[in-house]
Structure 1
Amino acid sequence: MEKRKWIVINYNLPSEPSRLRVAAWRNLKKLGAVNIQQSMWVLPHSDGNYSALQAISQEMESNFGEVLLMQCEFLEPRYEQKVISYFNNARDEEYNEFIEKCGDYFKELEKEIAIEKFTFAEIEEEEEELNKLLSWFSKLESRDVFNAPKSSYAKEKLDQVQKAFDEYSDMVYKHNNK
Structure 2
Amino acid sequence: MEKIKWLVINYNLPTEPSRPRVAVWRKLKKLGAVNIQKSMWIIPNNDENYIALQKISEEVEANKGETLLMDSMFLDNKHQERVISIFNGMRDEEYGELIDECEKYLKELEKEISIEKFTFAELEEEEEELQKLISWYIKIESRNNFQASKGEKAKGMIKEIQESFENYSDLVYENTEKDHMR
TM-score (normalizing by structure 2): 0.95
CA-to-partner distance for each residue in 1:104-151, whole Å, 9 max, x for gaps?
111211221122110111111111111111111111100001000000
Hey, what's the Cα distance between the residues in 1 that align with 2:140 and 2:69? 24
Q: For structure 1, which runs of at least 5 residues remain unmatched after alignment?
A: none
Greater Cα offset, 162-171 or 107-116: 107-116
SS at match of 1:177: helix
Hey, what's the Cα distance between the residues in 1 that align with 2:2 and 2:148? 23
Tell me the CA shift for residue 4 of structure 1: 1.7
Residue 134 of structure 1: aligned partner: 134
Residue 144 of structure 2: aligned partner: 144
Residue 81 of structure 1: aligned partner: 81
Tell me the CA shift for residue 60 of structure 1: 0.7
Q: Does 2:16 align with 1:16?
A: yes
Residue 54 of structure 2: aligned partner: 54
Residue 95 of structure 2: aligned partner: 95
Residue 7 of structure 1: aligned partner: 7
Residue 67 of structure 1: aligned partner: 67
Greater Cα offset, 17-26 or 49-58: 17-26
Number of residues of Structure 1 aligned to a counterpart in Structure 2:
178
Hey, what's the Cα distance between the residues in 1 that align with 2:140 and 2:71? 24
SS at match of 2:71: strand
CA RMSD of aligned residues (A): 1.1
SS at match of 2:36: strand
TM-score (normalizing by structure 1): 0.97
Hey, what's the Cα distance between the residues in 2 that align with 1:152 and 1:2? 23
Hey, what's the Cα distance between the residues in 2 that align with 1:91 and 1:38? 20
Tell me the CA shift for residue 6 of structure 1: 0.4
Hey, what's the Cα distance between the residues in 1 that align with 2:114 and 2:18? 47
Percent of aligned positions that are identical: 62
Q: For structure 2, which runs of at least 5 residues remain unmatched after alignment?
A: none
Hey, what's the Cα distance between the residues in 1 that align with 2:63 and 2:141? 32
Hey, what's the Cα distance between the residues in 2 that align with 1:79 and 1:151? 23
Tell me the CA shift for residue 2 of structure 1: 6.7
Aligned pair in 2 of structure 1 residues 165, 2: CA closer, same or farther (>3 Å)?
closer
After the TM superposition, which parts of structure 1 deviate over 6 Å for at least 4 consecutive aligned residues? none
Residue 111 of structure 1: aligned partner: 111
Residue 39 of structure 1: aligned partner: 39
Q: Structure 2: which amino acid aligns with 1:123? A: L
